Chains A and B, each alone.
Chain A
Amino acid sequence: MKSGRWITETGSSTYLSEAVAIWLRDLRGEFRTRYAVNSILMFAVTTLIAVSFSIGSFRIGDDEQPFLYAVLLWIILVFSALSGLSRSFVKEEEAGTMDVLKLSARPQAVFLGKLFFNLTLLGALELIIVPSFILLMNYEIKLPGLFTAMVVSGGIGLGGGTTIVAAMIAQASARGALFSVLSFPLLLPLMITAIKGCEKSAVGTNNPGWPEVRIAVAYSIVMIVMSLFLFPLIWEESMQ
């Protein structure tokens, strides 16, 4: 691998090079086992099929469609993400690789690497689920640009808000349930915003400046910056 250009003149690694190294390592591990991808995607696909099968594409009237479909889409996305995103840290704990990771990278770099990995997973999830949802439910979107921006910024917010929670619950008991319990109150403002934004894009209300997208972007920035501050405290606690 050509990692030479990431290394500084003194030969030491930078935050970014460490983060990218962790990201690539996680991607490689994921490519071999496909554990997180399989569980998240199958969860999402199962939910999508259940929703589509039980509601169908003609049951909900045209007036209600933009709002209700946005709600269903975000429920599928958020709960699929909650089902598998904690994997990024839980797998380190299970494999006993926490200490080695701690030696080889700085805390912020570990956080960024895991964040990149979670965002990659979320990107793959949205790439598959959102088009399938639109096709299966016959979701008419008047403003595709706003819709895309909302889905992307909402995805970044999902990753930004949950990565640090994953780091905490990896060291707690009852991990799976706790991850959803802790993440959901943090994600609620984002979820309400994203639903509103998707509804507007389906109706065709083009507010100048896309306030919902801006709220989601602001949320993502705030959560990622706060996590960068708080993550080292959690990370040093995981020393056994």
Chain B
Amino acid sequence: MIAKVLLTIWMTAIIVAAFLYADAAVGFPGETSRILFFHVPQAWVATLSFLLSMIASCIYLARRRVTADNLALSAAELGLLFCLLATASGSIFAKAAWGSFWNWDPRQTSIVILLMIYGAYFALRSAVGDPEKRRVFAAVYSILAFVTVPFLVFVVPRITASLHPEDTMNPAKPGMDPKTLKVFLGSLLAYTGLFIWILRLRLRLLNLEGMQEPEFLVTEKMDLEGEE
């Protein structure tokens, strides 16, 4: 409860600071550089949840605990949500800075592939009836998809040069303004906190659903056997 209140205050403070405290970066039209405080943390959370989902899938395959699969599922769901948010916010920036919402910039290409992988993951989950089988298949697919991602690093940048701002906005490089850096790191923390909070809610919900599941399945299976 206290954590939730703190998170709300922190997020509000970050949003205010993003618009009032930090200065707009040089070299960007108007105020467009403020997207940094929202878009990058969204993309970071999307990547984090993709990784988390893959690790949870590995744990599920090794130990066969339903909780691990629940974690993989809820991380994938949140990953899809944040991936969509990052795509939308990035697209708005693209319109303002590059002149069109969509132009198949390498970053846009790779995020579309990530969205397609998530889409396929949920399509697979909904197409397999048996829960045990569904969990194993989803975990296997999650690992397979993760394995193909490194190839995109080689493949995608070769198509066209990226317009994505990198140097002026990368906190690891000394070019960033200290005020911007402070708000950016705060925002990263806020988004990660938000992610963990929603993830825990989703996990609790899935665990509650899971408590009902066995009984329901047993009756369904008996019905089917009776018909045969």
Contact = CB atoms under 8 A, between A and B. Distances in A.
A233 B128 CA distance: 15
Interface of B: 61, 113, 116-117, 119-120, 123-124, 127-129, 132-133, 136-137, 140-141, 143-145, 147-148, 151-152, 154-156, 158-159
Given A173-B127, A178-B123, A196-B158, A237 B132 contact: yes
**Interface majority SS (helix, strand, loop, mixed), chain B:** helix
Nearest to B123: A181
B117 A185 contact: yes
Given A181-B123, A184-B120, 8 more contacts: A178-B123, A182-B120, A185-B119, A189-B113, A193-B155, A218-B151, A226-B143, A226-B144
B144 A164 contact: yes
Contacts of B156: 192
Interface in A138-185: 161, 164-165, 168-169, 171-174, 178, 181-182, 184-185
B156 to A, nearest CB: 7
A196 B124 CA distance: 30
Nearest to B128: A172
Contacts of B136: 233-234, 237
B40 to A, nearest CB: 24
Contact of A237 (B127, B133, B143): B133
Interface of A: 161, 164-165, 168-169, 171-174, 178, 181-182, 184-186, 188-190, 192-193, 196, 215, 218-219, 222-223, 226-227, 230, 233-234, 237
Contact of B147 (A168, A169, A223, A234): A223
B140 A230 contact: yes
B141 A182 contact: yes
Contacts of B113: 185, 188-189
Nearest to A230: B140
A65 to B, nearest CB: 18
A207 to B, nearest CB: 11
Contacts of B145: 185-186
A222 B147 contact: yes
A172 B127 contact: yes
